[in-house]
Structure 1
Amino acid sequence: MATTLVNVRLDEQTKKDMSAVCNELGLSMSAAFNIFAKAVVRERRIPFEVTADPFYSPANMRHLARSVAQLDAGLGQPHDLIGE
């Protein structure tokens, strides 16, 4: 089967880190991306869980906005974990 070229943009550190892991596994990065692509096609899904950071969820952002508003209004409470 003929092959085709696909370009992937990664930040420099991720590329270095991935290259090091692939070398440890005895793979080229091209082989690793091929394994990933074939798993996507075979399973018809991303072959690992993709989640968003819950810190940035709409509910948490509303909670943080309320907390900031309370602090701005002078309604903050002392906290045992924060030393003075």
Structure 2
Amino acid sequence: MARSVNVNFRMDSDLKKNMEKVCMDMGLSMTAAFTIFAKTVTREKRIPFEVSADPFYSASNMKHLQRAIAELNAGKGVEHEIIEDKS
């Protein structure tokens, strides 16, 4: 059997806490979950789920937002209040 080594990386503390809870609910440790991930990546030579960018940051949306900001700064258009979703 190969020698075990430590792998260290940083993540948001809330994310870690939530992942620990999910792993515990599945009867896994975070170490076991990350080991499963690493073995799957190694075996399949790919990330075992879809990775995609948030469409909010797409080039077309960023251009739209920059145009809207320029219009507001030029005194055109109407600035709206932010409405929070309370659901």
- Which TM-score applies when normalising by structure 1? 0.82
Q: How many residues align?
A: 80
Question: Structure 2: which 5+ residue stretches go unaligned?
Answer: none
1:51 corresponds to: 52
- In our comparison, the structure showing a higher alpha carbon Rg is 1
Question: Structure 1: which 5+ residue stretches go unaligned?
Answer: none
Question: Displaced runs of 4+ in structure 1, greater than 4 A?
Answer: none
1:6-61 Cα offsets, whole Å, 9 max, x none, are 11212111111111111100011100000000010111111111111111122211
Distance 1:67 1:24 in 2: 46
* Identity percentage of aligned residues: 61
Distance 2:71 2:8 in 1: 49
Question: Which residue identity lines up with residue 39 of structure 2 in the other structure?
Answer: K
1:5 corresponds to: 6
- Which TM-score applies when normalising by structure 2? 0.79
